[in-house]
C-alpha cells in the first residue's frame, strides 16, 4: 500500500465528529436573526428613553442622569450585539448576556418607580412607558436565547475553562429554562404594574382655597396651596384644555375653585374639562402642576417643550 493510499484511507475512516469539528460551522440563521432582533430591541428602547430624557426627564434630579445613562448603555450594547462577529464566541455571548441583563435591570427600575417610587420620583402609566416595558421584556428573552445558544468553539477543548465559548445542549436547556422563567415573571410583573398604575390624582383644591405666590429666580410666580409652582400650556385656549391622557399624568390639572390671595393681581376663573370637573384658570390660562416638582420653590417644568407644546410658569401679573 502506497503512502497516498494510506493517507486517503485514514481520512475516510476518521470519526465523523472529528471531521465536523475540523471545519468551522457557518453562522446559523437562528443566531443571525437573534442578533439583529436583540440589537434592534435595545436600540428602540434607547430611542424611547432618549426622547423621554429630552422632553422633560432631564430636569428631574437623579432620574435625569439615570435616563441618560440608560440611553448610552442601550445604544452601546445594541451596536455591540450587532457588530461583534458570531465567530468570536466569547465576546458575542458576553455582549448578549450584558444586553439581557440591562433590559431586565431597566424594567426592574421602571417597576420600582411605578410601585413605590425611585429617588423621590413616582412614575405614572404612559404609552411610552408601556411600549418601553414591552420592548425590554422582548429584548431580555431574545438576548438570553442568544447568549445561551448551545454550541462549541471549533477545535476547542472541552472543560469549564472554555466557558462561555462553548455551551453544551444540557447546560443550554437548563439555563434556557431559568431564563424563560425570568422572562415570564418579568412579563407578569410588568402587566400587573401597568394594570395597577394610574395617573396621579390632580392637584385637587377645595372651594375657597387661596392661590399664593412665591419668588423663584427673581420672578414672582403663582403657586397652589402646597406651594408648588403652577404652569400654563401654550396650545390651551381661555376656554379649553389641550392636556389629557399621558399629558395630564405628567402635568396634573388644578381642579376645583379658588379665590385670590391678598395682593394677588389677575383674574381667577374655571373651565370645564371633558370629564365634567372644573379646572382653575388665571388670566385665561388653565393651570397645571408638574410631576417633576417635588417641593415648593421648584420650577423644573418651566420652558419645557413636552406633550405637544411649551410650558411656562404662571407669573403673578395683572
pLDDT, tens digit, for every residue of 251-267?
Answer: 899 988 766 555 677 88
| pLDDT tens for each residue of 231-248 | 999 999 999 999 987 788
Residue 6 clears pLDDT 60, i.e. is over it: no
**Mean pLDDT, range 203-232, rounded to an integer:** 80
Q: Which residues pair with 41 in a beta bridge?
A: none
The answer to whether the Cα torsion of 239, 244, 249, 251 is positive or negative is negative
| pLDDT tens for each residue of 17-45 | 444 443 344 457 788 898 999 999 999 99
Q: How far apart are CA 294 and CA 314, in angstroms?
A: 17
Higher pLDDT, 294 or 288: 288
Looking at residue 210, its pLDDT comes to: 67
Q: Strands of 309-313's sheet, edge to edge? A: 231-233, 309-313, 305-306
Instruction: State the DSSP string of 80-101.
Output: HHHHS-TT-HHHHHHHHHHHHH
Most confident of 24-28, 205-209, 227-231: 227-231
Higher pLDDT, 183 or 146: 146
Quote helix, strand, coil % in the chain, to nearest 5: 45, 15, 35
Contact yes or no for 266/184 (Cβ under 8 A) = no
- For residue 75, report the phi and psi dihedrals to the nearest 5 degrees: -70, -40
Is pTM, for the whole model, over 0.75? no
Looking at residue 112, its pLDDT comes to: 85
- When the pLDDT of each residue in the chain is averaged and rounded to a whole number, the result is 78
Looking at residue 103, its pLDDT comes to: 93
Provide the greatest CA pair distance for the chain: 115
Q: Counting every residue, how long is the chain?
A: 318
| pLDDT tens for each residue of 40-96 | 999 999 999 998 887 767 777 788 888 899 999 999 999 999 998 877 888 888 999
Amino acid at each position: 500500500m502506497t503512502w497516498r493510499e494510506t493517507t486517503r484511507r485514514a481520512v475516510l475512516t476518521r470519526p465523523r465528529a472529528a471531521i465536523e469539528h475540523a471545519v468551522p460551522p457557518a453562522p446559523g440563521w437562528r443566531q443571525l436573526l437573534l442578533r439583529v432582533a436583540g440589537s434592534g430591541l435595545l436600540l428602540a428602547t434607547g430611542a424611547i428613553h432618549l426622547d423621554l430624557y429630552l422632553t422633560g426627564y432631564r430636569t428631574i434630579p437623579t432620574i435625569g442622569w439615570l435616563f441618560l445613562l440608560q440611553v448610552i448603555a442601550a445604544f452601546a450594547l445594541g451596536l455591540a450585539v450587532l457588530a461583534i462577529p458570531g465567530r468570536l464566541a466569547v465576546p458575542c455571548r458576553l455582549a448578549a448576556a450584558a444586553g439581557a441583563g440591562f433590559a431586565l435591570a431597566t424594567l426592574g427600575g421602571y417597576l420600582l418607580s411605578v410601585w413605590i417610587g425611585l429617588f423621590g420620583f413616582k412614575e405614572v402609566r404612559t404609552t411610552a412607558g408601556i411600549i418601553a416595558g414591552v420592548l425590554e421584556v422582548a429584548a431580555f428573552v431574545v438576548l438570553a436565547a442568544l447568549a445561551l445558544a448551545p454550541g462549541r468553539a471549533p477545535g476547542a477543548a472541552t472543560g469549564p475553562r472554555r466557558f462561555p465559548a462553548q455551551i453544551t445542549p444540557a447546560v443550554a436547556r437548563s439555563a434556557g429554562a431559568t431564563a424563560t422563567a425570568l422572562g415570564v415573571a418579568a412579563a407578569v410583573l410588568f402587566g400587573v404594574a401597568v394594570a395597577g398604575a394610574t395617573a396621579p390624582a390632580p392637584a385637587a383644591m377645595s372651594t375657597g382655597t387661596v392661590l399664593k405666590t412665591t419668588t423663584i429666580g427673581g420672578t414672582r410666580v403663582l403657586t397652589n396651596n402646597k406651594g408648588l409652582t403652577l404652569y400654563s400650556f401654550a396650545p390651551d385656549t381661555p376656554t379649553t384644555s389641550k392636556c389629557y391622557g399621558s399629558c395630564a399624568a405628567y402635568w396634573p390639572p388644578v381642579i376645583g375653585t379658588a379665590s385670590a390671595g391678598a395682593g394677588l393681581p389677575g383674574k381667577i376663573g374655571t373651565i370645564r374639562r371633558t370629564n365634567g370637573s372644573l379646572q382653575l384658570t388665571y388670566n385665561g390660562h388653565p393651570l397645571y402642576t408638574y410631576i417633576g416638582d417635588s417641593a415648593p420653590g421648584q420650577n423644573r417644568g418651566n420652558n419645557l417643550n413636552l406633550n405637544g407644546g411649551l410650558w411656562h410658569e404662571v407669573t403673578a401679573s395683572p
